[in-house]
Amino acid sequence: MTGKLNGSCFYHLSYFYIDCAVNTWRSSRGTMPERLTEMLMDTWTPLIILWITVLPSIYMAPMNQSQVLPSGSSTGLKRLNEEQRVLNRSKRGWVWNQMFVLEEFSGPEPILVGRLHTDLDPGSSKIKYILSGDGAGTIFVINDKTGDIHAMKRLDREEKAEYTLTAQAVDRDTNQPLEPPSEFIIKVQDINDNPPEFVDGPYHATVPEMSLVGTFVTKVTATDADDPVYGNSAKLVYSILEGQPYFSIEPHTAIIKTALPNMDREAKEEYFVVIQAKDMGGHMGGLSGTTTVTITLTDVNDNPPKFAQSLYHFSVMEDVALGEPIGRVKANDLDIGENAKSSYDIIEGDGMDIFEITTDAQTQDGIIRVRKPLDFETKKSYTLKVEAANTHIDPRFISGGPFKDTATVKIVVEDADEPPVFSSPTYLLEVHENAALNSVLGQVTAHDPDVSSSPIRFSIDRHTDLERQFNINAEDGKITLATPLDRETSTWHNITIVATETRNHSQVSRVPVAIKVLDVNDNAPEFASEHEAFLCENGKPGQVIQIVSAVDKDDPKNGHYFLYSLLPEMVNNPNFTIKKNEDNTLSILAKHSGFSRQKQEVYLLPIIISDSGNPPMSSTSTLTIRVCGCSSDGIVQSCNVEAYVLPIGLSMGALIAILACIILLLVIVVLFVTLRRHKNEPLIIKDDEDVRENIIRYDDEGGGEEDTEAFDIATLQNPDGINGFLPRKDIKPDLQFMPRQGLAPVPNGVDVDEFINVRLHEADNDPTAPPYDSIQIYGYEGKGSAAGSLSSLESSTSDSDQNFDYLSEWGPRFKRLGELYSVGESDKET
């Protein structure tokens, strides 16, 4: 199948492109002149639509069926007759696979896109053309007789650029296909109907101030929905509408650059630039779109700091606290951020060691502070030279000059009423512990530093001298002793002296005074501890019994040296002697052997201990020497005389333990016998009418007179009365119980509650007991009881007379109860 007009030429409506004419020219004349080809392919005239018809001069008569090749063939061979075979070049039908239609075309009638024709069509209208595929029947409609294809709607290439359809020729009567289906494409040809758009706009960009010409700023991008391949509809050219002469843009790359040098942020920080993108290569008639670019100049350090004034004046009181700010200076910098940060320093002046300057990180101020105390009387004013310098310097602008500035600061010190000043920050005094009362230990002095020079009064802070051991003269500051001192009790005394101005009592100063108590020899030496020596019976003569040491509470400068001696009457004793050791200790020695505990168990040896003080002090201490039995290697085993009479291998401790065990066993036996005796004796003997032994109290209500299991012995008010498992009384027990014994009288002092529990236990375990042994008393009867309460306690407290005859009507179980209450009432009346 081929697309043809008048049986020989396929044609279609085209925008600057005439397929039918070119093909017709080539079919009739062979080769198309080159000039015509250039004219048809390159001529550009906007919005011109050509309706192509076949000129008579290039018209080709229709080929008969035997001369037209099927669609897709290029050559063929035909036999003219069966006797001779002649090779002829057949005229080619146009091989087609696509058609074109102009987008956005609108007219009074549908657009003829093209015509379908088959060589099998003899012109008898027996051929029927069928069209299927994209938009068939809606967008594109075919005349089934002529094969003409019309576009019924206005097309938009940006919506859909091409449509794929299938054409087929069938027999109109039988609907049988005459040829296989042929697929072809209808392409929508583009026109310039979409302006460029900046999808990412508006834009924001930054560039450092003082940048060189041509410095890159940013790049913008515009898009055009038209066909970038066909024509110049999508060929964009960029230009600046606003923002010159500061910035420029590359026409094809859309790169924005600086166009002026040394743009100063401090003069103008922000620029508003309008960029235009125009299609058709920027020629007249093209569509355009615009966007805005906000360009901000970023700061560089191109400005030095500058003090607002060259001279600053400050005044400060002389008693200002150290570290306290006394004033601020400010160096302004036109830059911002890190480029505006400055550091301050004192570079000259007579108060460089008295004052310091620091930088406030928030305000970039220079804060002047006091480093050392001020004294109006010593110096009344100071002059400083301070410098402010940028901390971040840009090397590109360092040639522009030093990025620093200086200013002069004058500080005037004003007089203040100051507290007294002591001649020393601390005082150390020494005094012997035997110093006389009211003796002068030392003196403190203070003065008023002010010009007025107020008199000073001294006192002792009694919180530091609670025992009031010292006094001070309020006028001259002399410290005296008020109570005796003892170095052995306290070596140091720390007190605080207060100096107060007499004209202004609020001006007070304090100073610590340390008083050291010096030692005198006023304590006699003595044994370091209570010594007790042990002497073995089998000891040898000259054997060291004990080494003793002495102590002295005094503290001589050259250390202690003790002298030891025996009392004069003990010098010639026959038993012991002493020996002074080099380490200031004393050894006790035995003069003979053969000591015996039976003869004498303990010896007392008085020893005189003297020190080397001036005057010397001495004391007598007695050493106790105990004679003991020792083993062969000298180990003490026993020092008591009783050890001779004890069994061999059995000590006194063991005997005491055995005796304690025996006593404990005797006590257990006595308790066991006593308990057995109480258990076998009857507790109480009462009249048969007395039923207290059978009264049981329950806190829950039973199920009636037939319910003998309603109570729980665990609910008795006395929890000690719980006696374990209770047998049921409505069945016969498995074991036969002996008849109950007679009642025993209640002994004096027996707990009634215990007695009741015992009798209750016996009654519960005796199946032969009559029913009245199961009397139940309820503490709570519930509400709405028609029978009322059965509590004998409530009835006894009631003032009204009660008749218990109705109990006999309740059955044999309550008959006995009625008799008991009747007897009780008769006894009460008598």
631 shares its domain with 539: yes
- Give the DSSP letter string of 704-722: -TT-SS---GGGSSSGGG-
What's the CA dihedral at 656, 660, 662, 663 to 10 degrees? 130
User: Are residues 486 and 556 part of one domain?
Assistant: no
Closest to 317 measured CA to CA, from 448, 413, 382: 413
Closest CA to 249 of 265, 236, 267: 236
Task: Determine how β-strand 216-219 pairs with β-strand 162-171.
Answer: unpaired
Q: What is the pLDDT of residues 597-619, one digit of tens each?
A: 888 888 888 888 888 777 888 88
DSSP secondary structure letters along 529-586: S--EEEEETT--TT-EEEEE-EE-SS--TT----EEEE-GGGTT-SSEEEEE-TTS-E
**Range with top average pLDDT, 170-179, 209-218, 635-644:** 209-218
Tell me the C-alpha distance between 758 and 713, whole Å.
13
More confident residue, 197 or 194: 197
**Tokens 């009211």, located at residue:** 438
Based on the domain organization, do 283 and 215 belong to the same domain?
A: yes
User: What's residue 680's pLDDT?
Assistant: 60
Which residues share a beta bridge with 74? none
Considering its fold, how many domains does the chain have in total? Answer: 5
Q: What pLDDT does residue 677 have? A: 79
Task: Tell the residue number behind the tokens 């006091």, with chain if given.
Answer: 370
pLDDT at 117 over 70: yes
CA-to-CA dists, residue 385 to 215, 316, 405, 664, 784, angstroms? 43, 18, 11, 102, 108
* Contact criterion met (CB below 8 Å) for 143 and 129: yes
DSSP state of 91: P
- Predicted pLDDT of residue 776: 52
pLDDT tens digits, residue range 536-569?
888 888 888 888 888 888 877 767 788 888 888 8
Q: Which pLDDT does position 284 carry in this prediction?
A: 86
Sorted by sequence, the CB contacts under 8 Å of residue 598 that are 6+ apart come out as 641, 644
Whether residues 512 and 562 fall in one domain: no
In a shared domain, residues 167 and 237: no
Q: Are 272 and 253 in contact (CB under 8 A)?
A: no
Is residue 387 within 8 A of residue 347, CB to CB? The reply is yes
Q: What is the pLDDT of residues 315-350, one digit of tens each?
A: 999 889 999 999 999 999 998 988 889 999 999 999
Residue 716 pLDDT more than 50?
no
pLDDT at 294 over 80: yes
When pLDDT is averaged across residues 7-20 and rounded to a whole number, the result is 33
Decide which of 414, 431, 460 is a domain's last residue: 414
Nearest CA-CA partner of 531 in 582, 439, 604:
604
Do residues 536 and 630 share a domain?
yes
pLDDT at 777: 55
pLDDT at residue 246 above 90?
A: yes
Asked whether residue 251 is assigned to any structural domain, the reply reads yes
The residue among 632 and 65 whose pLDDT is bigger is 632
Question: Cα–Cα distance between 227 and 213 in angstroms, integer?
Answer: 37
Q: Is residue 462 situated within a structural domain?
A: yes
Q: Is the dihedral of CA 352, 356, 358, 364 positive or negative?
A: negative
Residue 422 bridge partners (DSSP): 446
The reply to whether 240 falls in a domain is yes
| pLDDT score at 348 | 92
Mutual angle of helices 19-29 and 34-42, in 10-degree steps: 170
Least confident of 215-229, 722-736, 786-800: 722-736
**pLDDT > 60? residue 279:** yes
pLDDT score for 31? 35
By C-alpha distance, which of 97, 96, 224 is closest to 157? 224
- Residue type, position 205, single letter: A
How open is the CA angle 774-779-784, to the nearest 5 degrees? 105
- What is the average per-residue pLDDT within 250-279? 93
The verdict on 279 and 227 lying in the same domain is yes
Lowest mean pLDDT among 253-262, 308-317, 770-779: 770-779
Choosing from 414, 433, 457, the residue where a domain stops is 414
Range of the domain at 209: 197-298
**Is 184 domain-assigned?**
yes
Mean pLDDT of the chain: 75
- The CATH number of residue 330's host domain is 2.60.40.60
User: Does residue 219 fall inside a structural domain?
Assistant: yes
Residue 496 lies in a domain: yes
Query: pLDDT tens, 665-703?
Result: 999 999 988 888 776 655 444 444 444 445 555 555 555
219 and 180 belong to one structural domain: no
531 with 631, same domain: the answer is yes
HEC secondary structure over 134-153: CCECCCEEECCCCCEEEECC
For the range 780-783, what are the long-range contacts, defined as Cβ-Cβ under 8 Å and sequence gap of 24 or more?
A: 780/699, 780/701, 781/701, 782/701
Asked if the structure places residue 827 within a domain, the reply is no
Tell me which DSSP letter residue 197 carries: B
Q: Is the same domain home to 333 and 428?
A: no
501 and 457 in one domain? yes
As a whole number of angstroms, the distance between CA 702 and CA 730 comes to 15
- Select the more confidently predicted residue: 642 or 662: 662
Does 770 map to a domain? no
Residue 235 to residue 340: CA distance in whole angstroms = 48
Summarize pLDDT for 485-535 with one digit per residue, the tens. Answer: 988 889 899 999 999 999 888 899 999 999 999 888 878 888 888 778 888
Say whether pLDDT at 74 is over 50. no
**Residue where a domain stops, chosen among 469, 486, 518:** 518
Task: Judge if 433 and 502 occupy the same domain.
Answer: yes
